[in-house]
Chains A and B, each alone.
Chain A
Amino acid sequence: MQKIKNFLVKLGRAIFKAPRAKIWWLIILILAITMLAGFLDYPKYYDQGVNWLKKTTGINLPQFYKLPFRLGLDLQGGTHLVYEADTSAIPEKDKDDALNGVRDVIERRVNAFGVAEPVVQTTKAGGEWRVIVELAGVKDVAQAIKMIGETPFLEFKEQNTAVQQQELTAEQQKEMKDFNAAVKKKANEALKKARVAGADFAALAEEYSEDEATKSVGGDLGFLTKEGIYADFYTQAAKLKVGQTSGLIETDTEINIIKVVDTQDAKEVKANHLLICWSGAQGCTSDLSKEDAKKKIDELKAQATKDNFIQLVKDNSTEPGAASSGGDLGWFGKGMMVKPFEDAAFAIKVGEISDVVETQFGYHLLYKTDERAVKEYRVSRILFKKKTKGDILPPVEQWAYTGLTGKQLTKAQVQFDPNTNAPEVGLEFNDEGKKLFAEITERNVGKPLAIFLDGRAIVDTDGDGVISAEEVYAPRIQEPIKDGEAVISGNLDIKEAKLIVQRLNAGALPVPIKLISQETVGAALGQESVAKSLFAGMMGFLAVALFMILYYRLPGLLSALALVFYAAIVLAVFKMIPVTLTLAGIAGFVLSVGMAVDANVLIFERMKEELKLGKPLGSAVDEGFKRAWPSIRDGNLTTLISCLVLFWFSTSMIKGFALTLSIGVILSMLSALFITRTLLNFIAPWFHKGMWLFGVRKKN
């Protein structure tokens, strides 16, 4: 025991007390930081390593944390729009609110457009209000501009009480019958052609099929599973051999002819799952934060066994109906569930419980209860659409036009119930609105009055953050209102009341906006630019490294190495902040690579002078650093001053340049002081001789 202790003490002393222990530790630290940074830059290589390790040794390490570069509009394509808001009609004190209303209305429209991370902001420039909209990766810019520029349209609608036609007239019935007879005739014609030996089914699909999604690919639906949406076709296909064509498969709405093209063996699994979703996940009504959801699911995972799983689901799962279903998903094959979920379900064995799986719906645990082999059939189809009652009858409009719009609304404001102090929304109409509103309220007492902005509910009613087309915001009319002053009350918090007011006012007093500047870059050009600037960066890097090695020899090699570390770290910092990379920004980074070695040049030149004076390498290194430091500091300082001004001055393109250059310059100082110096100190003891390597002629 004593011996072991002695040995450990000795070892410890050797590691921590050795004269050069500090340098060794620094080298290890630098390598570790660089490696982490490198993996953050390119997690692909780390993941490949992990996969290889898993394959060869079975050790399963987690994949690396993925953080994408944030690309500017000029690199990923998209549009940057500047609008000027005409606020001349708005009283001075209401301008801020009006502008917020404009921003909010644009945000609503942009969100409906489905763009990732849209930017909508208002700024004041020289007394003019502006709205800046940035849409990255938007496909149809013209359509987006059209949508954004439209004047907000506010409408009040009542329930539609007009009698709806429910049954077809004799004439319409005949029309439907004739139409469907013609469809069937056409289907028979196609079937006849398809049954001819050597018939080209794909060509027939292209000619006849009314399925727009598949007709161009010969009607190919891919492999069908028993539980999929084409379960009917699966049943039919199971009766046919590969290459055979079915007869007419007719339902109330359509007629199909199918052909079995191929078959394969596949697996289906049966599983139960437990879902813990977090606020913001798709379809989630829980108000758990993501962190808390993770904590909860980890706890459940620790408790879960084969025997208590169903009970755990019933008690805990946030999936609607889980309390009775026990999270049973039934049988499912590949391609029916979201990818991570499916992977987990197929990876575990029957009777096992999976690790925690994250999907857009939340965190899941899976308990696999069964597995079976099934056949899958690859099927092509020709679709003929029949007409139904619904196609002929006019669509049912739930809400009817009343003539009351934002034009008749004078203003809306937040007010408080004098008795309960609860926030309310007060509405005021003009004379025309007063009359209309009196009529509407009179005939609709006890019924809802729906408020729409741009054709959608004025606020989100189901709390999912998205206003879908089905949502309706409709306060109930309690009594006829004759004086044109209405109040929306009940169950409003102050935030919601403010939002409703803002949007009502946006519709009542629209602020016209005018597009004054537009920058649009197509996605193709963006991709080309990314490829080009990456190549330029690589070439710049190589040229600088090569020059340093050729001119400064061994120290040059070290500085080239330090440059690799530098680049890895800077790129990681770009990802972490995150810096929006633009073309100019990448140019700034490349420039910073050229400037980063400046510090090394200063140090090496000073070092050479010291070596020429005959000083030993170790002290020449220290002296070189000490003397070069003021120049390095001052040099970078002036560049930083320029960057600072640039950042203030700039358009977004130049901002990118200023930002990447400043980050580069600051990190390059740290890199010169810390990395190059450590590397030089590290190798110094091995090069007492061989001054040639340092570019110094031996002194006689």
Chain B
Amino acid sequence: MINIIGHRKLWLFIASALVAASIVATALWGLKFGIDFTGGSLLELSFENGRPATSELASDLASFGAEEISIQPVGANGVILRFKTVTETKHQEILAHLEEKFSGAAEQRFESIGPTIGQELRTKAIYAIIIVLICIIIYIAWAFRKVSKPVESWKYGVIAVVVLLHDIGVPIGLFAVLGRFAGVEVNSAFVAAILTILGYSVNDTIVVFDRVRENILRSGGDYENFDKIVNESVNQTFARSINTTLTTLLALVAVFFWGGESVKYFALALIVGIGLGAYSSIFIASPLLVVWGKMSIQKRRR
């Protein structure tokens, strides 16, 4: 049996450090929002006869009055240009110019999202996250509705939510870092990933807690050894937590490596969030339960 609860201070320290780092990164650099949230245009081009220099493309675009240009090479001879929303006429002018100047240049993708739509999607994304969180809190309240001793049922719920915040906080922090150093954007796909993480990761935590309650009942209320019971429960569900997560991660890793550019970071967010979900149910949720549980047991004794 692995002694996880014994080292609880270490695990909690690591988790706190990760969350703190994520908060700092997000506060410091912010998230780099994609055009579906900010509005803007995205033009993906392929150049049959080799990609022109970035500076050349930038000055070409600027000569058409495009603003806030960013240029990102993709694949062997492609490039993604981002700039402020332009009209369709302007888009056609730019395209005609580039196709004429660079033979073999062809448009692969064009997205242009007006500021109102961006605003709308942003609001919707925030609502969506709040709604899912509320649904999950209701669900947890329901799952732990039967009061159990020595820890009150609502405390299980609070811990589960805290753990969830960790599970989505760290990917957000990671994307703040990626946005700063690799230009990775946060778009509606990222929000979808966050919501999926919320739905998926809460289960690991619930399964561990279920075991704890089952084992407490079996032990006939042996509160003295609360930490031992929790440790035993974690060990019993260990293989299950790791394996369910591992299979899901395997599928996601395939999407990350081979699924193509547009779902790559979507898969990454899911990998990080779901991976952390398993980790946090074992190394954060259970230690927190022991810490809080011991506190309430002592209080009751006094």
Chain A residues, CB < 8 A from B107: 520, 522
Query: With A583-B260, A641-B139 in contact, is A602–B244 under 8 Å at CB?
Result: yes
- Inter-chain contact B109/A520, CB cutoff 8 Å: yes
Q: Chain A's nearest CB lies how many Å from the CB of B119?
A: 9
- Inter-chain contact A642/B259, CB cutoff 8 Å: no
- Whether, in the assembled complex, A151 has its beta carbon less than 8 Å from a beta carbon of chain B, the answer is no
Q: How far does the alpha carbon of A668 sit from the alpha carbon of B252 in the complex, in Å?
A: 17
Q: Choose among B44, B113, B240, B250 the residue that contacts A517 (Cβ–Cβ < 8 A).
A: B113
Q: How far does the alpha carbon of A539 sit from the alpha carbon of B253 in the complex, in Å?
A: 9
- Whether, in the assembled complex, A172 has its beta carbon less than 8 Å from a beta carbon of chain B, the answer is no
Residues of A that sit less than 8 Å from B by CB: 74, 82, 84, 125-126, 128, 141-142, 145, 149, 515-522, 524-525, 528-529, 532-533, 535-537, 539-541, 543-544, 547-548, 551, 583-584, 586-587, 590-591, 593-595, 597-598, 601-602, 605, 609, 631, 634-635, 637-643, 645-646, 648-651, 653-654, 657-658, 661
- Inter-chain contact B109/A142, CB cutoff 8 Å: no
Chain A residues, CB < 8 A from B267: 587
- Whether, in the assembled complex, B15 has its beta carbon less than 8 Å from a beta carbon of chain A, the answer is no
Q: Choose among B36, B109, B121, B210 the residue that contacts A522 (Cβ–Cβ < 8 A).
A: B109
Q: How far does the alpha carbon of A126 sit from the alpha carbon of B124 in the complex, in Å?
A: 12
Q: How far does the alpha carbon of A237 sit from the alpha carbon of B259 in the complex, in Å?
A: 56
- Inter-chain contact A605/B112, CB cutoff 8 Å: no
Chain A residues, CB < 8 A from B254: 536-537, 539-540, 543, 590
Q: Chain B's nearest CB lies how many Å from the CB of A651?
A: 5
- Whether, in the assembled complex, B158 has its beta carbon less than 8 Å from a beta carbon of chain A, the answer is no
Closest 6 CB pairs of A and B: A642-B199, A594-B251, A540-B254, A516-B114, A594-B248, A536-B258
Query: With A583-B263, A639-B199, A648-B128 in contact, is A594–B247 under 8 Å at CB?
Result: yes
Chain B residues, CB < 8 A from A536: 254-255, 257-260
Q: Choose among B124, B202, B248, B262 the residue that contacts A591 (Cβ–Cβ < 8 A).
A: B248
Q: How far does the alpha carbon of A631 sit from the alpha carbon of B209 in the complex, in Å?
A: 11
C-beta contact mask, B259-273 vs A, less than 8 Å → 1, else 0? 110110011001000
Q: Chain B's nearest CB lies how many Å from the CB of A480?
A: 46
Chain A residues, CB < 8 A from B108: 521-522, 524-525
Q: Choose among B106, B112, B192 the residue that contacts A658 (Cβ–Cβ < 8 A).
A: B192
Q: Of all chain A residues, which has the CB nearest B236?
A: A609
Chain B residues, CB < 8 A from A657: 189, 192
Query: With A128-B116, A587-B267, A605-B239 in contact, is A595–B248 under 8 Å at CB?
Result: yes
Q: How far does the alpha carbon of A516 sit from the alpha carbon of B246 in the complex, in Å?
A: 43
Residues of B that sit less than 8 Å from A by CB: 36, 44, 46, 87-88, 92, 106-114, 116-117, 120-121, 124-125, 127-128, 131-132, 135-136, 139, 143, 188-189, 191-192, 195-196, 198-200, 202-203, 206-207, 210, 236, 239-240, 243-244, 246-255, 257-260, 262-263, 266-267, 270
Q: Chain B's nearest CB lies how many Å from the CB of A601?
A: 5
Q: Of all chain A residues, which has the CB nearest B260?
A: A532
- Inter-chain contact A650/B258, CB cutoff 8 Å: no
- Inter-chain contact A587/B244, CB cutoff 8 Å: no
Q: How far does the alpha carbon of A601 sit from the alpha carbon of B242 in the complex, in Å?
A: 10
- Inter-chain contact A591/B128, CB cutoff 8 Å: no
Q: Chain A's nearest CB lies how many Å from the CB of B84?
A: 14
Q: How far does the alpha carbon of A651 sit from the alpha carbon of B192 in the complex, in Å?
A: 10
15 contacts between A and B (CB under 8 A): A74-B262, A517-B111, A525-B108, A543-B251, A543-B254, A587-B255, A587-B267, A590-B251, A590-B254, A590-B255, A594-B251, A598-B248, A649-B127, A657-B189, A658-B192
Q: How far does the alpha carbon of A546 sit from the alpha carbon of B260 in the complex, in Å?
A: 23
Chain B residues, CB < 8 A from A631: 203, 207, 210
Chain B residues, CB < 8 A from A522: 106-109
- Inter-chain contact B247/A521, CB cutoff 8 Å: no
Q: Chain B's nearest CB lies how many Å from the CB of A238?
A: 47
Contacts A84-B114, A593-B251 known; list 16 others, CB within 8 Å. Answer: A141-B110, A525-B44, A584-B192, A584-B263, A586-B259, A590-B259, A594-B249, A595-B248, A638-B199, A639-B203, A642-B200, A645-B128, A645-B132, A646-B192, A649-B191, A654-B189
Q: How far does the alpha carbon of A540 sit from the alpha carbon of B87 in the complex, in Å?
A: 41
Most buried by B among A145, A654, A658: A654
Chain B residues, CB < 8 A from A594: 247-252
Chain B residues, CB < 8 A from A597: 244, 247
- Inter-chain contact B195/A591, CB cutoff 8 Å: no
Q: Chain B's nearest CB lies how many Å from the CB of A93?
A: 25
Q: Chain B's nearest CB lies how many Å from the CB of A28?
A: 29
- Inter-chain contact B192/A518, CB cutoff 8 Å: no
Q: How far does the alpha carbon of A198 sit from the alpha carbon of B200 in the complex, in Å?
A: 77
Q: Chain A's nearest CB lies how many Å from the CB of B289?
A: 18
- Inter-chain contact A587/B191, CB cutoff 8 Å: no
Q: Choose among B113, B189, B240 the residue that contacts A653 (Cβ–Cβ < 8 A).
A: B189
Q: How far does the alpha carbon of A84 sit from the alpha carbon of B139 in the complex, in Å?
A: 40
- Inter-chain contact A521/B109, CB cutoff 8 Å: yes
Chain A residues, CB < 8 A from B244: 597-598, 601-602
- Inter-chain contact B270/A591, CB cutoff 8 Å: yes
Q: Of all chain A residues, which has the CB nearest B139?
A: A638
- Inter-chain contact B251/A515, CB cutoff 8 Å: no
Chain A residues, CB < 8 A from B243: 551, 601, 605
Chain B residues, CB < 8 A from A82: 114, 117
- Inter-chain contact B207/A645, CB cutoff 8 Å: no
Q: How far does the alpha carbon of A679 sit from the alpha carbon of B71 in the complex, in Å?
A: 54
Query: With A520-B110, A520-B111, A651-B188 in contact, is A642–B196 under 8 Å at CB?
Result: yes
- Inter-chain contact A638/B203, CB cutoff 8 Å: yes
- Inter-chain contact B259/A637, CB cutoff 8 Å: no
Q: Choose among A584, A593, A637 the residue that contacts B189 (Cβ–Cβ < 8 A).
A: A584
Q: How far does the alpha carbon of A133 sit from the alpha carbon of B218 in the complex, in Å?
A: 62
- Inter-chain contact B263/A646, CB cutoff 8 Å: no
Q: Choose among B109, B127, B198, B259 the residue that contacts A587 (Cβ–Cβ < 8 A).
A: B259
- Inter-chain contact B188/A653, CB cutoff 8 Å: yes
- Inter-chain contact B260/A533, CB cutoff 8 Å: yes
Q: Chain B's nearest CB lies how many Å from the CB of A535?
A: 5
- Inter-chain contact A646/B112, CB cutoff 8 Å: no
Q: Of all chain A residues, which has the CB nearest B43?
A: A520
Q: Chain B's nearest CB lies how many Å from the CB of A632?
A: 10
Chain B residues, CB < 8 A from A645: 128, 131-132, 135, 195
- Inter-chain contact B240/A601, CB cutoff 8 Å: yes
Q: How far does the alpha carbon of A601 sit from the alpha carbon of B207 in the complex, in Å?
A: 13
Most buried by A among B110, B188, B253, B263: B263
- Inter-chain contact B247/A548, CB cutoff 8 Å: yes
Q: Chain B's nearest CB lies how many Å from the CB of A542?
A: 8
Most buried by A among B106, B107, B199, B207: B199
Q: How far does the alpha carbon of A117 sit from the alpha carbon of B180 in the complex, in Å?
A: 42
Chain A residues, CB < 8 A from B136: 638, 641
Query: With A145-B88, A533-B260, A641-B135 in contact, is A516–B117 under 8 Å at CB?
Result: yes
Q: Chain B's nearest CB lies how many Å from the CB of A106?
A: 15
- Inter-chain contact B109/A525, CB cutoff 8 Å: yes
- Inter-chain contact A584/B191, CB cutoff 8 Å: no
Q: How far does the alpha carbon of A520 sit from the alpha carbon of B110 in the complex, in Å?
A: 5
Q: Of all chain A residues, which has the CB nearest B206?
A: A634
Q: Chain A's nearest CB lies how many Å from the CB of B89?
A: 9
- Inter-chain contact A517/B252, CB cutoff 8 Å: no
- Inter-chain contact A518/B128, CB cutoff 8 Å: no
Q: Choose among A518, A528, A533, A535 the residue that contacts B111 (Cβ–Cβ < 8 A).
A: A518
Q: Chain A's nearest CB lies how many Å from the CB of B250?
A: 4
- Inter-chain contact A528/B260, CB cutoff 8 Å: yes
Query: With A517-B117, A520-B109, A642-B198 in contact, is A547–B192 under 8 Å at CB?
Result: no
Chain A residues, CB < 8 A from B114: 82, 84, 516-517
Q: How far does the alpha carbon of A668 sit from the alpha carbon of B243 in the complex, in Å?
A: 17
- Inter-chain contact B116/A547, CB cutoff 8 Å: no
Chain B residues, CB < 8 A from A547: 246-247, 250
Q: Of all chain B residues, which has the CB nearest A559?
A: B247
Q: How far does the alpha carbon of A639 sit from the alpha carbon of B236 in the complex, in Å?
A: 24
- Inter-chain contact A637/B139, CB cutoff 8 Å: yes
Q: How far does the alpha carbon of A520 sit from the alpha carbon of B114 in the complex, in Å?
A: 15
Q: Choose among B131, B188, B199, B240 the residue that contacts A640 (Cβ–Cβ < 8 A).
A: B199
